[in-house]
Amino acid sequence: MTDYDPPTDPLTILHDDHEVLLVDKPSGLLSVPGKGPGLADCLLTRVQASFPTALLVHRLDRDTSGVMIFALTPHAQRHLGLQFEKRQTKKTYVARVWGEMAEKTGTVDLPLIVDWPNRPTQMIDHQNGKQAITDWRVVRARDGETRVRLMPRTGRSHQLRVHMQALGHPILGDPFYADGPARDHPRLMLHSETLQFRHPDGGKGMRITAKAPF
């Protein structure tokens, strides 16, 4: 990873209480510290500067923006961790992708594995890959691109990015999976729009949203 120059915007807090904190992660900021010098600045350390008890639950790619949840107690971290593990959380992403998609809805079911020589990129591998499933729904298609909602059923690394590339519609601005004009955008056009989960204190269903900045 080169030229790490994360944005310096103040934290955008979407919700906080005695157990959980939800923030809107900016694109270009690591979720957790990277390996190597100059990669210490990340959302986790910024959150912990204001919320010292904050604990990691899940991650978003550096270039993806949107809703990210942190636990504020060990109990909440366990509770939320299990929800993610058992796929009880629901996530919706918004993306702008290359080309106008012909169908209105669909599902991608293609197993993924890390492409070791080119990591962190992932690749489709029907023999050794782990199951990865993404539901998608077109919002609008015009001017040579499509705005689409993505509902991952699994949480593999780079899942949405590889799945959209596999459909022939890479996410605009993707430094790993797009090329040519599709890659030539100021940022990765992928945003975690909503997260649904059960609150660790009492199990009440919650749905937190952050509007896409593109």
* 25-54 pLDDT per residue, tens: 999 999 999 988 889 999 999 999 999 999
120 pLDDT higher than 80: yes
* 49-104 pLDDT per residue, tens: 999 999 999 999 999 999 999 999 999 999 999 999 999 999 999 999 999 999 99
Expressed in percent and rounded to 5, the helix, strand and coil fractions of the chain are: 15, 35, 50
In the three-class reduction of DSSP (H, G, I as helix; E, B as strand; rest coil), residue 71 is classed as strand
pLDDT of residue 1: 45
Is 0.85 topped by the overall pTM? yes
The residues pairing with 138 across neighbouring beta strands, listed in sequence order, are 148
Q: Please tell me the total number of residues recorded for the chain in this structure.
A: 214
| 142 within 8 A of 135, measured Cβ to Cβ | no
* Catalytic site residue from 16, 41, 61, 201: 61
Q: Is 61 a catalytic residue?
A: yes
